[in-house]
Amino acid sequence: MARSWTEPERRHLRTLLAGQRWPLAALAALLAATTASVLSGPALIGMGVDGALAHGGHAGLYLAAGLYLAISIAGWLATVVQLRLFGRITERFLLRLREAAFEHLLGRSPAYFEATPSGTLITRLTADVEAVATFFRTGLIPLVTNVIVLLATMVFMAALSPSLFAIVFVCVGPIAAGLFVVFLRRSRRAYDVARLRISDAMGVLSEGVAGIAVVRAFGAEERQRRHFDEANDAQVGALTKANRIGAQFAAVVDFAGVAAFVPVLAGGAWLYAGHHVSIGTVVAFVVYVSAVFDPVQQIGQFLGQATSARSAFASLVGLLEVRDALDRCGTGAAVPARGAVVLRTVGFGYPRGDREVLSGFDLEVPAGQRVALVGRSGAGKTRSPG
């Protein structure tokens, strides 16, 4: 089943979408208009067939074709405006997400970066942001559109012939719903694991590249290579499993789409014989059923992206919710961000020691410079050898 949204995730989502209420409302209206243009086709075809059979001419078909053409052109124009508007909303959302993540990291203390692997942070700012961006740019609109098309198609079918819709729904609905629930549960687990494996591989890669001088100095190239190969193989295996689940779902949906014609044709013939539906209604149902499984197929395809993006967004929210010692100290105790560091007559000793290690120590570090304490092993860099 779909993972429920946590309060921090909802809060950050509202923040990232702040000021977008009217663009989102306009986008919803455009989605409704494009969906109506898509679904009007089968109903117009059925009306044209019934008109031709009733009056023995082609005027009804010509009228239906003309109306369908006009509606299709209007739907195309609405789609163009919809995509342009959605592009602006998406890029603003992603810009805010990247800025929020980077700004939050800038406020963390050095202790946080010492305790957190650099590969994890790089994964959050690159792979996770890219997963969210990919879904927003290529998957969100098709997913939402196909969900609306699927629901609206069932409404259209129920309005066209409640009895024929009941036959089709009883025969196909429970099976399709069961398959969908199983797919959601399996794909969620698979993509959660895949995100973890991607993070592991990215961490090994980034840390290996950053520390390549150390790796080569100690002759650890082969060990590092094995480490990366293990992480890379685990990532490939996790993604392969996730893709296999999607392929299995697609194959089952294709079969269900073919099998759904049986109750439509059988039920349509029975109802037509009893004068409960017209030939045009049966034809419209055949077109609707042939088209209704395409949205299901598309939903299954983009749900993989959605699940991956959902896991990535949860990881990013986890990063944005990180608090450390610097936050607890408050801004008044923070180390100055600029200027020299000056120490005067500093003393230092260990709690159990009987003498000071440092006494009257002075140090001045100009702004922009670094100071390192160096020496051979055992010289006393960590503590006094005495």
Mean pLDDT of the chain: 78
**CA dihedral (265, 266, 272, 276) positive or negative:** negative
Cα separation of 275 and 247, whole Å?
A: 42
pTM of the entire structure? 0.62
Q: Which CATH number fits domain 7-329: 3.40.190.10, 1.20.1560.10, 1.10.3720.10, 1.10.1740.10?
A: 1.20.1560.10
Q: Who contacts 255 (Cβ-Cβ below 8 Å, separation ≥6)?
A: none
Mean pLDDT comparison of 92-101, 199-208, 209-218, 323-332, highest-scoring range: 92-101
Which pair of structure tokens corresponds to residue 48?
């044209």
Residue recorded with tokens 């120490």: 343
For residues 265 and 286, is the Cβ–Cβ distance under 8 A?
Answer: yes
**106-165 pLDDT per residue, tens:** 888 777 877 777 767 777 888 788 888 888 888 888 888 888 878 887 887 888 888 888
Cα separation of 290 and 282, whole Å?
A: 12
Cα separation of 72 and 273, whole Å?
A: 34
Residue % of the chain over a pLDDT of 90: 0
Q: Who contacts 167 (Cβ-Cβ below 8 Å, separation ≥6)?
A: 263, 264, 267, 271
Residue 335 DSSP symbol: P
Which pair of structure tokens corresponds to residue 208?
């290996």
CA neighbor of 15 nearest in space, from 378, 321, 258: 321
Q: Read out DSSP for 225-266? A: HHHHHHHHHHHHHHHHHHHHHHHHHHHHHHHHHHHTHHHHHH
With a cut of 80, say whether residue 321 has pLDDT above it.
yes
Residue 137: per-residue pLDDT: 81
Residue recorded with tokens 């260990």: 350
How far is the CA of 277 from the CAs of 208, 231, 270, 292, 317, in angstroms? Answer: 69, 60, 9, 20, 54
For residues 181 and 285, is the Cβ–Cβ distance under 8 A?
Answer: no
Average pLDDT over residues 181-208: 78
CA neighbor of 278 nearest in space, from 40, 57, 45, 46: 46
For residues 324 and 111, is the Cβ–Cβ distance under 8 A?
Answer: yes
334 or 244, which is more confident: 244
- State the span(s) of the chain assigned CATH 1.20.1560.10: 7-329
